[in-house]
Amino acid sequence: MPGTDPAETMRVVAGELPDFPHLPELPDRGPGADLTGRTAGLLVGIAAEVTPRGWRLAERPGRDLVRARSMLSSDLDVMEEVLQGFRGPLKIQLCGPWTLAATLELPRTMNAALADPGAVADLAASLAEGAAAHAADVAKRVPGADLVVQFDEPALPAVTAGTVPTASGLSRLPPVPADMAAEVLATVLAATAPRYTVVHCCAAAVPFGIIKGAGADCVAFDLSRLRRADEERVAVAAEAGLGLLAGAPGAAAEPEGARQIAERVSGLCRRLGLPPAAAGPQVVITPACGLAGAAPDRAREALTRCRQAAAMLPEMIEETGT
């Protein structure tokens, strides 16, 4: 979400999405509020620091991690206050292990941690422990919540395709085999059990097979980037029982209206062959990623449109006979 005021943003989220709120991220506040830095603050036994190039692994925790942890603690206090008495699904989100490995640099080579298999394994184990502790903390703060833990993996397609650049930019790191990618992701997902898990990838060519193989409960993707060729993979994931979090365009210069969004999602359900009884509970309409770059009123409108579209979806699915 845009802005720098966690209390105001949490109130907006709770007001616009009363049935499925989430803990907002506010990267406009600077390092430590970004995806990598926020998650780095939760790592156990691994430190990180900010450099002019971004985040890198460090020997010991410093002021950058103190700032990241302080902001997250404040956000959790606000969430606890705003959602007092709340019952229902509540989503939190963290950086996934592969995107974390692709965006954290090694101390000396300046290559991504992805270049060192040992560093990747250590990061995954540390993230698993930190994510489990974070989820337990949120569950204590909002005891009526059915917690949903989302891991953001925008870099996963690049990791498996071998397109993550080296420090010089003149070469690319070797591709990670699909089975290894699924295994590492599964380690982190399993740590948050028995809570629902989501893997979100807003890139093109979402690796649905890897996400399904890792044991995720749901997959989140950007509808506008979903190619018709990918729909068969989505159908396989849906047939396997994965929940589908469909990211609807909403922060562009000319955003789609709620009915257009509902029609787009209904059309996808029809092409996937989801029966009406399954499509409603299995599909969730969410904003597409990128709201942090929108004006605050645009971001709020995007949340409103998603809620309105979701209310229209069941009837629309019944009308089309999906």
Question: Could you give all domains of the chain from N- to C-terminal order, each with its CATH number?
Answer: 87-320 (3.20.20.210)
Q: How many residues does the chain have?
A: 322
DSSP annotation of 52 reads: T
In the block, tokens 């949490």 appear at 10
The per-residue pLDDT for 256 is 74
Burial class (CB within 10 angstroms; exposed 0-12, middle 13-18, buried 19+) of 129: middle
- Say whether pTM exceeds 0.85: yes
The per-residue pLDDT for 322 is 45
CB 189 within 8 Å of CB 131: no
The per-residue pLDDT for 273 is 85
The per-residue pLDDT for 288 is 86
Low-confidence ranges of the chain (pLDDT < 70): 250-255, 277-278, 280, 320-322
d(CA 291, CA 102): 22
The answer for residues whose C-beta is within 8 angstroms of residue 98's C-beta and 6 or more apart is 114, 153, 155, 156, 159, 176, 181, 184, 185
